[in-house]
Amino acid sequence: RPADPTATGQPPARGRRRDSAPVARPSPRRVLADLGPREFANALIALVFSATGPVAVILAAGGQGDLSPAQLSSWIFGVFFANGLLTILMSWVYRTPLAFFWTIPGTVIVGNSLGHLRWSEVLGAYVVTGVLILLVGLTGLARRLMDWIPMPIIMAMVAGVFLRFGLGLVEAVWASVAVALPMAIAFLVVGAVPRLARVVPPILAAMVVGIVAVVLSGGLSRGVLDDGLIAAPMLQAPEFTLRAIAELVVPLAITVLVVQNGQGIAVLRAKGHHPPVSACAVACGVWSLLVSAVGAVSTCLTGPTNALLVSSGERDRHYAAAIANGGLALVVGVFSPAFVGLILGTPAAFIAALGGLAMLAPLQSAFVTAFRTDRALGPLVCLLVTVADVSLLGISAPFWGIVLGMAVSALL
């Protein structure tokens, strides 16, 4: 059906640029036709995932810098609303699921730096990072880098990142039987009945059962709307200092181009998609410049969200799930104070169980791809370093997992 060979899972035609856009972009009617219950459920679960744990990371990082509620609200508006627009645009243009949000490891790095850097200095580093990412994308270095890293190595890194969500599921069931256990049972029961699963996706059934369990157990915190209803983005001026640029720019650029974009590209390729690597890097650079004006951290092609969008359903309809995810992100951006307050008002076990159940299929796929090789020591080293979660020179563990994994593979 698609006019572009990359949309059918076939390799690009000879002589055709791998980052070129499809000839025929889907009409609104075509998008709605491809947006079935499963695709919408994947989009919703991916959005809920993005608006829970990752938002908590933003709040924790902002707390380290004593940011005001207005600054935090503007930050959250930027990462949802602006990146939702980018997700819709890129997924429609390339007819490929391309979900963009923000770099979580980069947020952690920024939080650590806010103890001794002014917020305006961090904003200046955001701007320089965006320019660097843009240049890497325009020169084609990003595409060559992703083609150079072996797929088993990068999928081992993905497995190491996703593993904590699976472990969180086990811990949630163990710690909160009243909430997490019914969710896991609903997920398994619905998934065991193929006819039912085609109508009601298992993860959606788990979420509904979890919400009912939270309400019945009285687990919803009061005052979830205390921070307001509508977001109020505020323009903020950057300050360019050598100490902030030297400390933040390279680690932020690496987390976007290698760690985050690497995850997103790997999970999409594993499902037969052909994401435009250079175009994604250029988009991340441009959008990082835009969102820095409202205090938001750098944009990236997210790994977990894309993994959830392509976890089930027909491959040539995954792009519709990404467009729906972008549309939902626009709503969350506008109502970010209310939505985030509501999500964070739910028990931690609900969030952990929902994220863990949603990540089971992507985690399984990552392990299979990483270790389906006769030289598995390199991927194993990459996995172990990533899971150990140690950082060096301000750069997070997934990057060093790739470096050491590739070194071991080259030595062998």
For 336-373, the pLDDT digits (tens) are 777 766 766 777 788 778 777 877 777 787 788 788 87
CB atoms within 10 A of CB 20: 14
Is this structure's pTM higher than 0.95?
no
Per-residue pLDDT band for 5 (boundaries 50, 70, 90) equals: very low
The pLDDT score that the predictor gives to residue 43 is 92
**Distance between CA 125 and CA 241 in Å, rounded?**
8
For 281-301, the pLDDT digits (tens) are 999 999 999 999 999 999 999
Give the mean pLDDT of 10-22: 46
The pLDDT score that the predictor gives to residue 4 is 45
Q: Give the bridge partners for 392, in sequence order.
A: 395
C-alpha separations of 81 from 143, 231, 232, 294 in Å: 27, 10, 12, 11
The pLDDT score that the predictor gives to residue 8 is 40
For 240-280, the pLDDT digits (tens) are 998 888 878 877 888 788 778 888 898 898 888 999 989 99
* Structure tokens that stand for 280 in this block: 């994604």
Give the mean pLDDT of 332-338: 83
The pLDDT score that the predictor gives to residue 219 is 67
Residue 226 has pLDDT above 70, yes or no: no
**Distance between CA 328 and CA 334 in Å, rounded?**
10
6-10, 187-191, 401-405, range with the lowest pLDDT: 6-10
For 301-314, the pLDDT digits (tens) are 988 889 889 988 88
DSSP letter for 100, please.
E
For 127-174, the pLDDT digits (tens) are 999 999 999 999 988 888 777 878 788 878 778 877 877 888 888 888
Max mean pLDDT among 12-26, 95-109, 387-401 falls in 95-109
Average pLDDT for the chain? 82
The pLDDT score that the predictor gives to residue 11 is 41
For 63-92, the pLDDT digits (tens) are 777 887 778 888 889 999 999 999 999 999
For 38-52, the pLDDT digits (tens) are 899 889 888 877 776
User: β-strand 100-102 against 299-301: which pairing, if any?
Assistant: antiparallel
Give the mean pLDDT of 100-121: 83
Residue 21 has pLDDT above 60, yes or no: no
Per-residue pLDDT band for 18 (boundaries 50, 70, 90) equals: low
Q: Give the bridge partners for 101, in sequence order.
A: 300
Residue 2 has pLDDT above 50, yes or no: no
The pLDDT score that the predictor gives to residue 7 is 40
The pLDDT score that the predictor gives to residue 79 is 92
Can you spell out the DSSP letters for 17-73? -TTPPPSSPPPHHHHHHH--HHHHHHHHHHHHHHTSHHHHHHHHHHHHTT--HHHHH
